[in-house]
Amino acid sequence: MIAENWFLDWRGFMLISKFVAEDRDAVVDLWLTVFPRSTGHNDPGTSIDRKMAADDGLFFVATDEENVAGTVMAGYDGHRGWLYSVAVSPAFRRRGVGTRLIRHAESELARRGCPKVNLQVIADNSEVVAFYRSLGFQVEERISMGKLTGE
């Protein structure tokens, strides 16, 4: 299992490891900054609680010595994998953090036998679309549909 992953950028060492409870406040703050258009069902604290209840070991954070620099949550249902909540703090962007987080999650999904990884991006977020394209993701001609449960 890939438990942690150190890497060096021009400013120092970074570590990718599994989310732990001590990361919670910093992750909530990061998500509130990076995902300002999130809707109620994506409340950071609630999302963290749900992911931790799943107990699948697919929630990762990148940190330097004192800051959470980025996050990625992954999921795998036996059919395909998904990436969620890929977030990099503005202070850590363009340092390879996002790329390392994605590659780490992909490696863990592949280790579990996952044949394909999907993700969703807000359509008008061209910078993020370009980032994912640079990592080999392609836009698939699909319609993304969703429904809140219980409605």
User: What sign does the dihedral 84-90-91-92 (CA atoms) show?
Assistant: positive
Residue 76 forms part of a structural domain: yes
Q: What is the pLDDT of residue 116?
A: 96
Could you give the number of structural domains in the chain? 1
Which residue range is the domain that position 36 belongs to?
Answer: 4-134
Q: Which residues of the chain carry a pLDDT beneath 70?
A: 1-4, 6-12, 151
The CATH number of residue 26's host domain is 3.40.630.30
| Phi, psi for 115 (deg, rounded to 5) | -90, -20
Q: What is the pLDDT of residue 49?
A: 95
Residue 92 forms part of a structural domain: yes
Residue 34 forms part of a structural domain: yes
Q: What is the pLDDT of residue 150?
A: 73
Residue 17 forms part of a structural domain: yes
The helix or strand, by DSSP H or E, that contains position 68, with its residue range, turns out to be strand 68-76
Q: What is the pLDDT of residue 8?
A: 57
Q: What is the pLDDT of residue 12?
A: 67
Structure tokens belonging to residue 76: 């795998």
Residue 144 forms part of a structural domain: no
Q: What is the pLDDT of residue 72?
A: 98
Q: What is the pLDDT of residue 2?
A: 42
